[in-house]
Every structure is written in structure tokens, then in C-alpha cells.
Structure 1
Amino acid sequence: MTTPQPETGFPLPSLEELQAAARVVSLPMRVTFRGVLRRELMLFEGPAGWAEFSPFLEYDDAEAASWLGAAIEAGWHGFPAPLRTSVPVNATVPAVGPEDVPAVLARYDRPRTVKVKVAEAGQTADEDVLRVAAVRDVLPDAALRVDANGGWDPDTAVGVLARLAPFGLQYAEQPAPDIAGLRRVRQELRRRGLAVPVAADESVRKESDPLLVARQDAADLIVVKVQPLGGVRRALKIVAEAGLPAVVSSALDSSVGISAGVALAAALPDLPYACGLGTVALMDGDVVRDRLVPVDGSLPVRAAAADPELLGRYRAAPDREAWWAGRLSRTYRCLATPQR
């Protein structure tokens, strides 16, 4: 072990230990999600269990460092004790056409909450409305939430959310790209009497100060993800300090990564919303035999261990393994060097 990493205080395993424990896989998707048809990720088998390191390919090394810190927590230090044995989760509908919505929802076992992706590049507000309407047609009693991933400007966000409000939205996730925009959207929705709460996602996990969105009164709730925030314990600290309700979500993880999200949800003192941890259902492959997919709208709280045969089946090509090995070395240096 080396010196403690700055964010958690946990001692870091050596780079050589991480390299020896690393496996790289490429998992096929059932539908395009974030433009991804295959999800590449790195896994480690550490002394405390399996861990996932899967920042998206476009993320730079400094941003990926938090993701590596989360993997080290999972694989080398384990998680806090759970307060519950299962967590409720939502189904996720990508930016598909309305005709494809029933098939996407059929992959989930009796979902009670659905998150619908909106504001996809190249699509229109009309397409968003039709997609949400199709979900409501299939599941008339489900709680609905939409996720724009910061894809609207504030004026567009208010206009589209005014059209979606009659569907009874539970909340709108990241309807504008930054904290100032979220605050404008939230204020204008209130002024118009539209009961659509605003949730912050990117404005929590991509900000240097994840508490700024709460201090700026820019959101009604926050979305927290284990890997981008640097681990379960750091995410718990952020939720406690923000003083806002929290939704635990995933970053298109394998079952190994999802198990870390489940550990966070299980350790939160309050869990008022269903979690966005059902995305394994969108994958056509996994590294775990007993996949963490929702049953009756919930996931069990348990560890997930990668299966050797599946690791071999989905092993990434040699050039991609080399790319991830280089990323691991660079990201490790970012994590091990205190920020000044």
C-alpha cells in the first residue's frame, strides 16, 4: 500500500497490484445508450471483492481519477454496513422511437418507476413528448421522470417541460447544462405553477464543488453516482452535507459496478426515490452469472463476483487492453498526486 488518496484517506494499492488484478471487457448493448453500442470497462479482483473502473472513453484522466478511487474502495476496502436488504429501482427508456418503447419496458420486471431519456442530439421536442406518452400508455400508473443530460438551454427546457408536465412528472433531471441554468429553470417552473421538481446530476458529479448546486438553491434533489463521486463513503458525505433528497443512479455499469450503487443506496439513511440502477437490463452481456437486474421493481443488496468464463467471452481486443492499461497508469498518477 502507498500513501492515502486525498479524497478518502484510504491507502492506495500499488499500481503494480492494480495492473495484476485488472481485466478489460467489452459488453454489447441491446440498444444504443449515450451513443454507445459496446460498453468497455476495466475490472479488478481485490482482497475485498470485485470492483469496476469504467469512466466513459471521452473523459480525461483527471476526471477519471474519482472513478478509480471508487474502484479501489470497492475492491480493497469494501462498503459500509447496509441499512436495508433491497432497493427500489426505475426502468430506463433510451431515446428510442415511441414504437420501440413497449419492447424496452418488456425487459424489466413490473417496473413502478420509469426514467425517460429526452433532449437527445438531433431529436425534437415532439419526439420527446411522443416517447413519454408511449411510456404512459404502457404503464399508466408508473411514476415518470425525464433526464435531459443538460441537453436543453433554460428556455427550451421550460417550454418542453410545460408540455410534459401533464404526464405527472416526478422530476426532471439536469434540464439545463449548468447550475445557473438549473436555477433559472426551477424558478420559471415555479413562477408558472408547474409542479416539476428539478434534479441535478452533472451539476453534482462534474463540478469541482459538488455542493454548489445545493448552496445556489438550483435543485430540489440531487442524483449521486458512486464512481464519478469517488466511492460510496464520499457520496454519503456529499448527500449528508447537501441536505437534499438523493437518487442513486448508475453510469451504465456492469453488475459489478451496479453492486457498488446498490451498496450506496442501502447505506443512505433515507431513500425517498427509486434508484437508477436498473441499466444492466439494457446490456446484452455481463460479467456476472446472476446478473443484478430488477425483480418486481427492486434489486437485492449483495456483492457481485465476475465469472471467469464470461470474462473470457467478453475480453476486449489486445489494442483496447493496451489502451486501458495506459489509462490506468495515467489515472493512478492523478489519484496519487495531491491536488494543490
Structure 2
Amino acid sequence: MRIRFRGIDVRETVLFRGPSGWGEFGPFPEYADPEACRWLAAGLESAWGTWPAPVRDRVEINATVPAVGPGHVAGVLEGFDGCRTVKVKVAEAGQTLHDDLARVAEVRALLGPGGQIKVDANGAWTVEQAREALTRLSAYSLQYAEQPCAEVAELAELRRLLARDGVDVPIAADESVRRAEDPVRVAREGAADLVVVKVAPLGGVASALRIVAECGLPAVVSSAIDTSVGIAAGVALAAALPELDHACGLGTVGLLDADVAERPLVPAAGVITVEDALAVVRADEQPGLAGRELTGERRDWWLDRLARCHALLT
């Protein structure tokens, strides 16, 4: 990783190639096999299956700013060509609300009044912490707040409190969808205004489309710190959504120190095209793999995990 993100400095993943192209299997190490096998299902869909037909040929992308100090924000944004929406990580362990306010203020200053800002707390706040934080952060005209609290009931309570207080910050559910046994619960209990969906944790493009339809809420597509192979699946999902009103968090290849594809899937003029995504998946080779293969115990660990998850699927 160019910058520490989601608490990690190194990203490990598995790539494989089938008759349809390349697939990716990269659940984070702490995920147990029943959850990780969904990621394998998504990779198998990419390599052996087919994706739903797109309804658009390009997808607008947001920039992603990790929990860096204000002085590093401009440098991060330089890696997201033409992006006018920025997702800002907040509620980082060891930091304070003051740090979050300073980071978001710097993003707003650099974007100007015409850009969009959304914040992502990864479920780290209590209801009261989220209420205070979003009330203060709302001064910077937030598009929405992603997973401010961990539990569905907390999200529902927070929505009610913000509405009562007249704080206009919509709530987006991420972990409460992609890591849930019942991903539609957020809609049923009025806990979110929109859902954030990721291909790998939801078992593939077709599965994610079904979940969005069942939720009946606006959706935005994001990544799980994938290589360009995984990002291509995210672009396929975003391109197939019947409605897409938000920029998607699919520009995270720029946070990696290197990538597997000859032409990494990073935004150009603020978008990634379906054509470029398909080219990555259908490539004969991924040149960036050379010299980056895992060896020894780490390779054995991943192959064993792959076999266990495949057994769960079959």
C-alpha cells in the first residue's frame, strides 16, 4: 500500500484464470471461511461465468482519502484524475474528531463548493459519537455518511436523531449489507438511505444485483482494496445497476504501490470505462504478477484457504 489503509500496509490476494478470463480471491486474513467463500464465488463468476449486460458504458469514480493529516490530502487527490467526489475516511483508531474535521475541511477547500464529499467511519462510532460528529461535519455539506455505527439498530436510531435535530446527512450502509446474514434488514428497519455494495463480499455481480433489488434503496458500488481484476468486477456491477446516482469507490488501485494489470484500472477524467474493465479481465497475462508471487508459508496458507473455501462452495 502507498498509504496505510483499513489498518493494512500490504495487500495479498489470489488470482486465477478460467475460460471467461481472470478472477480474484482476496478476503482479508481475519475473515472466517464461511464469509471468505463468498469472495471465491465472485472470483469464479468472473473467471468461469458471465456478467449481466451493462446499461452504461462508463462509471463515475470517487477519490478516496485515507486517515491522513491535512497536509497530505492534496498529494492523495493528485492520484485521482478528474474525480469531483471524495470519500474521506474518519473515526480512525488513535485519532480524534478534531483530526476528522481538519481532514474534511481540507478536502472541501481543495474541491470547492461544487464537489461532493462523503465520509466513511467503518462502524467505529457509537450513536452519540456519530450524532456529534455528523452534526459538526455537516458544515462541509456531506453527500452521505457511510456506516457511521456498527449495528443496524444503531443506524436506525441515528437516522431518527439526525432527522429530529434537522441535520441533513443521509446514512449509507456498507458492513451492515456485505457482512450480514440478512443484507436486506437495513432497508426493512429503516436504517439507511442507500446501500454500498461490493462484488466480492456479496458473492459476485449477479448476487449483488439481486440484493440491491431486494433492498429497494439507491446503491453505490465500492471496492475491497482489489487489484484491477477485482475492480473490473466492480465496474461490471456499477454498469449493470438500473440506476446509479453516485460516484463509485472503485479508484482504490491508486492506493496500491503496484498492480497486476498492464493498464491499471484507475480513473481518467473521473471515470472508468466498461471497455477498459473487460480488457483487464480478458487479458492473456497479467504482467504485474511477475516477481510478486508469494512463496513458502504464505503461499501454502492461501492455497489451503482456497481449497477450504472451494469445498464449502461445492
CA distance 1:308–1:275, change in 2 (3 Å): closer
Alignment of 1:8-27 (within 5 A): none
Q: How many angstroms does 1:321 deviate by?
A: 1.0
After TM superposition, give the deviation of residue 318 of structure 1 in Å.
Answer: 2.5
TM-score, normalised with respect to structure 1: 0.89
The alpha carbon displacement at 1:308 in A equals 4.5
Match of 1:162 in 2: 135
Moved over 3 A (4+): 305-309
- Please tell me whether the aligned partners of residues 261 and 286 of structure 2 are also in contact (alpha carbons under 8 angstroms): no
Q: How do residues 144-293 of structure 1 correspond to structure 2 at under 5 angstroms?
A: 144-293=117-266
> Once the two structures are superposed, what CA deviation does each residue of 1:192-221 show, in whole Å capped at 9, x if it has no partner?
001100000000011101101100010000
Question: Are the equivalent residues in 2 in contact too, given 1:150–1:175 (CA < 8 A)?
Answer: yes
Shift of 1:325: 0.4
| Structure 1 residue aligned with 2:299 | 321
Q: Report the 3-state secondary structure (helix = DSSP H, G, I; strand = E; otherwise coil) of the residue aligned with 1:171.
A: strand
Report what 1:20 is aligned to. Answer: none
Q: Which of 15, 18, 29 is residue 46 of structure 1 equivalent to? A: 18
Alignment equivalent of 2:85, drawn from 77, 95, 113 = 113
1:311 aligns with 2:289: yes
Alignment of 1:86-165 (within 5 A): 86-140=58-112, 141-165=114-138
Do the aligned partners of residues 308 and 219 (structure 1) sit closer, same or farther apart at CA in structure 2, a change above 3 Å counting?
closer
User: Which residue of 1 is the match for residue 5 of structure 2?
Assistant: 33
Instruction: Give the aligned length.
Output: 308
Secondary structure of 2:87's counterpart equals strand
Within the alignment, does 1:72 sit opposite 2:22 as a pair?
no
- The answer on 1:82 being equivalent to 2:82 is no
* Larger strand proportion of the pair: 1
Shift of 1:252: 0.3
Q: Deviations over 1:248-267 (max 9, x none)?
A: 01000000000000000011
Gaps of 5+ in 2: none
Contact 1:49 1:78 in 2 (8 A): no
Q: Rate the CA distance shift 1:47–1:250 in 2: closer, same or farther, 3 A.
A: same
Letter in 1 for 2:302: W
Distance 1:61 1:328 in 2: 9
Q: Distance in 2 between matches of 1:296 and 1:314?
A: 30
1:317 Cα offset (Å):
2.6
Distance in 2 separating the partners of 1:122 and 1:184: 26
Residue 308 of structure 2: aligned partner: 330
Aligned to 1:294: 267
TM-score, normalised on structure 2?
0.96
8 Å CA contact 1:225, 1:249 repeated in 2 = yes
Following the alignment from structure 2 to structure 1, what is the Cα–Cα distance between the partners of residues 267 and 183? 29
Q: 2 CA distance for matches of 1:92 and 1:197?
A: 19
> For 1:307-329, what per-residue CA distance to the aligned partner results, in whole angstroms no more than 9, with x for missing partners?
45421221123221111001011
Judge conservation of contact 1:69–1:230 (CA < 8 Å) in 2. yes
Question: 1:311 & 1:286 partners in 2: Cα distance?
Answer: 8
RMSD: 0.9
Are 1:172 and 1:198, in contact at CA under 8 Å, matched by a contact in 2?
A: yes
